[in-house]
Each structure stands twice: as C-alpha cells, then as structure tokens.
Chains A and B, each alone.
Chain A
C-alpha cells in the first residue's frame, strides 16, 4: 500500500539556519503530496502541496518540489525562525485531495534563538 517515510527527528537548529526535512513516498499512480504543520497545542494545518511531478509548493518561506524520479518531496526553508518550531508531517493522497491521506510519522523541529 501507499506509504510515506520522513526523516527521524527531533531536529534542532539555530535561528537563520537552513532547514531540510526529507520525505520519500511509495505509491501507485501519481499521488498528490502535502506538508502539514502542527504548532504546539494546535491541530494540523496545511503548509503546502503539489499535485504533479516537478510542481513546487511554497508558503511562508517553505518550499518542496515533487520529484517523481526520486519519489521525494523534501521540505526546505532558507532561514528558519523560532516561530517555525513545530511538528511537520509529509502526506500523500492517491485521490488528489483529502480522501484517505497517508501521513508520515512527523518530524519535530525546534529552533533556538
């Protein structure tokens, strides 16, 4: 079945450091890919998404590119802030939207001032 593998956390960075959180997937067909973020004490929020190969999703300075050849959707940000501290979830849907989203385990990011 479909699956998502994220890099193990936790990840601890200093403010203004470069962030990469790796995500690879296994799916039949051409899934849509998502990054969700969960800030402390809150529910998950959609951060960005990409629906086809070579698409780049971006939001709040975060970017991720849908790489079909490497089945990856790595999350990057050039300069993290303390307010980016959260848990980040990679997810896929083989139905293009919210039906039956398959999530990774999540990666906890802590950014220190």
Chain B
C-alpha cells in the first residue's frame, strides 16, 4: 500500500534561518506531489505542485521554493525565513490529476 511520510512534525526556527521540509511517498511511482500551507485563520493554500522530477509549478509568489530531486521526494525550502512563513505545512500526493489527494500528517512551523 502507499504511504506518505513528512518530517519533522514540529519545527521552531528563528527569522532569517533556512528551511528544509521533506516529504516522501512509498508504494507508487510518478505521483503528483503537492505542498499546501494553512496559516492561522486561513484555509489551505496550494503552494507548489509537481507532476514529475524537476517539474515544479508555483501557485503564489512567496519566500519559499520547492524541488523534486527524485520521483517520490518533494522538498520545501527557504533561504531566509520570515515571520509570515509560520503555519501548518502539508504534503500530499495523488496517482493522477483526477484522483483524490492523500495527505501527510503535516509540519507545524513556528518562526520566531
């Protein structure tokens, strides 16, 4: 069966520090991969999605970037975190564009 792993579960980082969140999917190949963020008082916002290795689409301009170095690995990064980057980050995958999303358990990021 397919599983999605996302880590760390919680993270506290100072303003200006770098960020790297990792997400991996097991038990499938060539999945669509997604990064969502839920900021306080707001709904889930799609940040990035990828349909293949090295193919990244960005939905909103921001301080973050994403990379897909391997088929089942999706990384969310920042060179310098801002206070506004605090939030709950969720990775998700789907086998194709018409199937529902499967989410990881999320990372709670607090920028201080």
A contacts, CB < 8 Å to B: 4, 34, 36, 41-46, 49, 89, 91, 95-106
Given contacts A43-B90, A44-B90, whether A98 and B101 have CB atoms under 8 Å apart is: yes
Binding site of A, secondary structure by majority: helix, strand, loop or mixed?
loop
Q: Report the bound CA distance from A106 to B36 in whole Å.
A: 14
B contacts, CB < 8 Å to A: 4, 6, 32, 34, 36, 38, 41-46, 49, 59, 90, 92, 94, 96-106
Given contacts A103-B43, A104-B43, A105-B43, whether A97 and B97 have CB atoms under 8 Å apart is: yes
16 residue pairs bridging A and B, Cβ less than 8 Å apart: A36-B103, A43-B90, A43-B103, A44-B92, A45-B103, A89-B44, A95-B97, A97-B97, A98-B92, A98-B94, A99-B32, A100-B49, A101-B101, A102-B46, A105-B41, A106-B43
Q: Report the bound CA distance from A69 to B97 in whole Å.
A: 27
**Which residues of chain A come closer than 8 Å to B90, judged between CB atoms?**
43-44
Contact (Cβ within 8 A) B96 A97: yes
**Which residues of chain A come closer than 8 Å to B49, judged between CB atoms?**
99-100
